[in-house]
C-alpha cells in the first residue's frame, strides 16, 4: 500500500458555500471523502490537505517526495502564478497529477496558462469533483506501470 497526497490550494476551503454556479455545491469535505474512497479502491492511503499559503504547498510537495508515492494537486489560483510550485514539482521525484474542477480553458484568458502543467505527469480539468477520483485512478495506474 502506498500513500497518495491530495493537495488543495487557496480558497478551495470555500467550496459549496459560494460561487456554486462555477464550482458546484460539493464541499471540500465531500471531495475528501471521494478521494479516501478512490484511494481505498486502489489500495492506497490518502493524505488530504488544503492551504491558502503558497509556501505551505511547497513544503507539502517536498514532504511528499519522501512520504508519498505520488501527488494529486489542485493548485487553485497559484496554477496561473506560481513559479515556486513549478520548481517544487520539478524538483521532486514522485509523479504529480494536476486537477481542476472547472475547465480552465473555457474561462477567462488569465486561467488558460498553467505553470504546473509542464511539470505534471497528467492534467485533468472540467470534470468537477469526479476529476479528483479520475486523477487518483490515473496516478494509481501510473504507479503500477
Asked whether position 15 contacts ligand CA2 by CB under 6 A, the answer is: yes
**Phi, psi (degrees; rounded to nearest 5) at 9:** -90, -165
Binding mask 90-109 for ligand CA2 (x = CB under 6 A): ----------xxx-x-----
Pick from 89, 108, 109, 107: which is nearest to 98 by CA? 89
Contacts of 55 (CB under 8 A, 6+ apart): 84
Burial of 144 (0-12, 13-18, 19+ CB in 10 A): exposed
| Residue 32 CB, nearest approach to ligand CA2 (Å) | 15
Number of residues that bind ligand CA2 (CB under 6 A): 16
Q: Which is nearer to ligand CA2, 66 or 109 (CB)?
A: 109
Binding site for ligand CA2 (CB under 6 A): 11-12, 14-15, 18-19, 23, 74, 76-77, 79, 100-102, 104, 111
Could you give the residue numbers annotated as active site?
23, 100
Amino acid at each position: 500500500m502506498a500513500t497518495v497526497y491530495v493537495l488543495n490550494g487557496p480558497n478551495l476551503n470555500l467550496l459549496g458555500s459560494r460561487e456554486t454556479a462555477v464550482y458546484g455545491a460539493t464541499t471540500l469535505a465531500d471531495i475528501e471523502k471521494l478521494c479516501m474512497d478512490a484511494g481505498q479502491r486502489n489500495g492506497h492511503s490518502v493524505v488530504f490537505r488544503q492551504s491558502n499559503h503558497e509556501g505551505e504547498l511547497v513544503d507539502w510537495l517536498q514532504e511528499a517526495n519522501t512520504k508519498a508515492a505520488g501527488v494529486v494537486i489542485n493548485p487553485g489560483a497559484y496554477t496561473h502564478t506560481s513559479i515556486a510550485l513549478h520548481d517544487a514539482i520539478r524538483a521532486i521525484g514522485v509523479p504529480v497529477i494536476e486537477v481542476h474542477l472547472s475547465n480552465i480553458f473555457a474561462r477567462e484568458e488569465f486561467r488558460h496558462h498553467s505553470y504546473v502543467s509542464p511539470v505534471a505527469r497528467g492534467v485533468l480539468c472540467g470534470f468537477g469533483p469526479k476529476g479528483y477520483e479520475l486523477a487518483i485512478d490515473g496516478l494509481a495506474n501510473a504507479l503500477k506501470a
